[in-house]
Amino acid sequence: MLTRVDFNVPLEGARILDDTRIRESLPTINDLRARHARVILVTHVGRPDGAVDEAFRTTPLASRLSQLLGSPVRHLDDCVGPEIEAAVGGLRDGDVVMLENVRFHLGETRNDPTFARELAALGEVFVNDAFGTAHRAHASTVGVTAYLPSVAGLLMAREIATLGRIMTDPPRPLVAVIGGSKISTKIGVLKSLLERVDRLCVGGAMACTFLKAKGLDMGRSLVEEDQLDTARSLLAAPARGRTLILPLDAVVAADAKPGVPAKTVSVDAVPPELKVLDVGPMTVERFLQVCDGAGAVVWNGPLGVYEVPPFNRGTQALAEGLAGSQAETIIGGGDLVAAVQELHLADRMSFVSTGGGATLEFLEGKTLPGIAALRDA
């Protein structure tokens, strides 16, 4: 079974900083092994741009997976070619091997048919369990489906089912919380969610653009001046019966650096020399009030510069509040997922998506190439 997984995990040398994506694929790998399949794992790590980069070897991933499975996972030094075909040909039922980083080949990101055919030659069936790459039309996500019978893995199926239900038949009331730095990167998902949710809370630096669009002075905060008209149009959209909620207060400082003096102010009293770097406690309380009684809460993107304390407190407080909620809680976006994992709250959420850009594009209502290719196949 040629199995595409998304093991694009953060590395520090050979040390894996967060193995969540590896652990999330265990049900699919174990299911294939239980069916006596010979499992050939394909993944990418980082952006090596078609050249071998020692920092992005998949060797540590094979080692960690071996520990999690409790059985050896052989690492191969490439992902195509006669030597790889010979190694795969020697596998026994239930064996697992991991190919080298598929992005060491330019043919991967170019979805080159020749490269896709070489990959496909390694298996008899293609299993795509890499939801996090479903928005990429690459050889290992789309190209191989032209040459092999193709199916979704258990993780991919769960992501599609959960996010698909939120898009088509969600529990009500449905609340969305959207954070992050820029409206320009999330305009699609904001418009899409405003058509579907009952209430939409906006945090992160993108809220500064909304607040400035309402006439407030945001000091030295990140504001997308070219998106002010967009913000005004989105603020007008809830007249159709939805509610858009903006921050009430903010944590401000000169810069997002450890140890820099910070204070909490009302959003209409941001000092001209300071930046908004997090939401304040009144905002968190307001957002949690909005989420109280919700059927489901979809949250994408942190509320502040969570990597730098104390600007992580808004994200932390909202996560702690939602972890005790009766609502179905759906967490998405790479930065937010990392924050929730770091807080050890992921297990208290209903669903934590493994996708970053893929989750955003799915919530926009876009057709993801990796999913479309499975349906076509």
Largest CA distance in the chain: 69
Give pLDDT tens digits for 292-319.
999 999 999 999 999 999 999 999 999 9
Q: Mean of the per-residue pLDDT values for the chain? A: 94
Give pLDDT tens digits for 147-173.
999 999 999 999 999 999 988 898 999
Residue 145: what are its φ and ψ, rounded to 5°? -70, -15
> Per-residue confidence at 8, pLDDT binned at 50, 70, 90?
very high
> Per-residue confidence at 46, pLDDT binned at 50, 70, 90?
very high
Instruction: Provide the 3-class DSSP secondary structure of residue 152.
Output: strand
User: If DSSP states are collapsed to H, E and C, what string results for 19-38?
Assistant: CHHHHHCHHHHHHHHHCCCC
Tokens of 189: 């998902």
Tokens of 293: 């009684």
Instruction: Provide the 3-class DSSP secondary structure of residue 251.
Output: strand
Tokens of 95: 């064996």
Q: Tell me the domains of the chain and their CATH numbers.
A: 2-155 (3.40.50.1260), 162-364 (3.40.50.1260)
> Per-residue confidence at 18, pLDDT binned at 50, 70, 90?
confident
Residues facing 11 on adjacent strands: 16
Q: Which residues are catalytic?
A: 21, 182, 334, 357
Mean per-residue pLDDT, 228-245: 82
Q: Is the peptide bond before 310 cis (omega within 30 degrees of 0)?
A: yes
Which string of DSSP letters, residue by residue, matches 48-112? -TTS--GGG-SHHHHHHHHHHHTS--EE-S-SSSHHHHHHHHT--TT-EEE---GGGSHHHHTT-
Task: Report the alpha-carbon distance of residue 341 to residue 66 in Å, rounded.
Answer: 22
